[in-house]
Amino acid sequence: MSMKIHILHMNDVHSHLENQMRVGYQLRRLRESLSQRGEPVLTFDIGDVLDRVRPETEASLGRLNAALLGSLSVDGWVFGNNEGLTIPRRVWPELVAASGGTVYGTNIRDESGSPLAELTDVFIYDLKGIQVGVFGVTPSYPKPYEHLGVQVLDPVVESARAVRMLQQMGAHIIVALSHLGLGADHSLAKAVPGIHLILGGHTHQLMDEPVYEGQTAIFQVGKHGVAFGHTTLVIDDATHQLQMVEGRAVLPTVLEKVDAQMMQVYLSHWSEIDKDLDRVVCELADALKTSLDEESSFANTLAGILQTEYCADVGIVVSGLLCASLLQGVVRRRHLHSACPTPTRPVLIDLSGAELWRVFERGLQPGFCLQRGFGFGFRGSVVGHLGLSNVRLEAHREVDDKVVVDEVVIGSERLVKTRIYRVATVEYLWLSSVLPEVHEGNNVDIPPPLVRDLLMERMNHANIVRDARFTCVHIRL
């Protein structure tokens, strides 16, 4: 005789709340049906359920997203990089409490190396005598986590430790909730024997069914709440051995009903969220414009805020981080969030004068602004034009349309190619390969706030906004 244990799982919803509620409606109905048949069911979220690109998540700092998981009665949740890197550490206990389930942080520690009180390393679910052991790991980004009060340890090493613990605790089946990505999940399965099932996320693959790496089944179901996974473990009653893993992606349609309990939770949070989004940030005497193909005052303002906040020599951003202009008059939090939705953080790096020169010349070429922006938290469309602070460029355009930089002045002095300059930029430009010199910068530091948080705090500095309206780039034909 054999028995079935069902696992319903979601990953990388990224605050697509409408989709999540459609998934919730169908998932709840399926779970009730399976439970009525007497078959045990577990429900998990594999991370990045939230994304501060969504205004409701921004205003609630993820509390709404956690409450929605709670309304769906999830049994477990593992933090992804969006939870870990964009939600302040002080809010984590509230997220855990609101979710109502076990939140796994098998490779997350505080600065001293101790486990966090609100997170769980391993847990065993007793399902009709079958002991299902679970742990959860998140990707390690040492530099971005440096100032956030936590450290994320090597997920493979910590997974091996978790498997040993669960085996010693008597687990018959071991399930890893992994926000590491599909390739890393295959590597994890090779490196750590004893894991029966890896439920994954992070790389957004929509898989039709599980695949195997050795004896380990691996499965994930896309992104943005377009699907949820239904994985079935078939287990021998007598030996408690796993006989088979079956899985499928369940895709609700756009016409699917939304889950009533989740909608009720959403509405209960809305009044406070709306109030927070209505907060006044500043009042602009003139509009701050955004342009993707020419220098613009809003991008220069963002560069100026970063440059002055961190006493850097130069501020460099790209206008593709900004999705709208800010109009004259009162600017509220909802306006600023809509105009700057990308949840990126400041980055400080050292570049030589020669490297800076190449950055400027590369960024002024005709095709630069049209490159597609992708990954690393980018929430715009194309990369856009350079936004600059404390620098003036003189250049000319040659017959073949190539732009050649003739002179660079930083502050009041000409750039010295052998000198080292401190540059304030953004995480996206450091992580991506858009500007190779920035990607390979030295002496990297990543302060805690999101760039948008700095905008909210500093937009009322009249001098920065005034200076941003002066043209930094002068190109002769």
Given this model, what pLDDT does residue 451 score?
93
Helix axes 63-71, 92-99, angle to 10 degrees: 20
Tell me which CATH homologous superfamily contains domain 2-273: Metallo-dependent phosphatases (3.60.21.10)
Given this model, what pLDDT does residue 258 score?
96
Given this model, what pLDDT does residue 238 score?
87
Given this model, what pLDDT does residue 255 score?
82
Burial 335-371, CB ≥16 within 10 A → b, else e: bbbebbbbbbbbbbbebbbebbbbbbbbbbeeebbee
Given this model, what pLDDT does residue 379 score?
80
Length reported for the chain = 477
pLDDT in tens, the chain (477 residues): 899 999 999 999 999 999 999 999 999 999 999 999 999 999 999 999 999 999 999 999 999 999 999 999 999 999 999 999 999 999 999 999 999 999 999 999 999 999 999 999 999 999 999 999 999 999 999 988 988 989 999 999 999 999 999 999 999 999 999 999 999 999 999 999 999 999 999 999 999 999 999 999 999 999 999 999 999 999 998 899 999 999 999 999 878 899 999 999 999 999 999 999 999 999 999 999 999 999 999 999 999 999 999 999 999 999 999 999 999 999 999 999 999 998 889 999 999 999 999 999 999 999 999 999 877 778 888 999 999 999 999 999 998 889 999 999 999 999 999 999 999 999 999 999 899 999 999 999 999 899 999 999 998 887 788 887 889 999 988
Given this model, what pLDDT does residue 378 score?
82
Q: Compute the distance between CA of residue 155 and CA of residue 137 in angstroms, rounded to an integer.
A: 6
Taking every pair of Cα atoms in the chain, the longest distance, rounded to a whole number of angstroms, is 82
Tell me which CATH homologous superfamily contains domain 279-476: 5'-Nucleotidase, C-terminal domain (3.90.780.10)
For residue 223, what are the CA distances in angstroms to 77, 200, 202, 340, 373?
16, 11, 8, 22, 18
Are 132 and 167 in contact by the 8 Å Cβ rule? The answer is no
Q: Tell me how many helices (H) and strands (E) the chain has.
A: 16, 25
Q: What is the pTM assigned to this prediction?
A: 0.93
Burial 98-123, CB ≥16 within 10 A → b, else e: bbbbbbbbbbbbeeeeeebeebbbbb
Residue spans per domain, the chain: 2-273, 279-476
DSSP strand E in 190-305: where? 197-200, 211-213, 216-219, 228-236, 242-250, 280-284
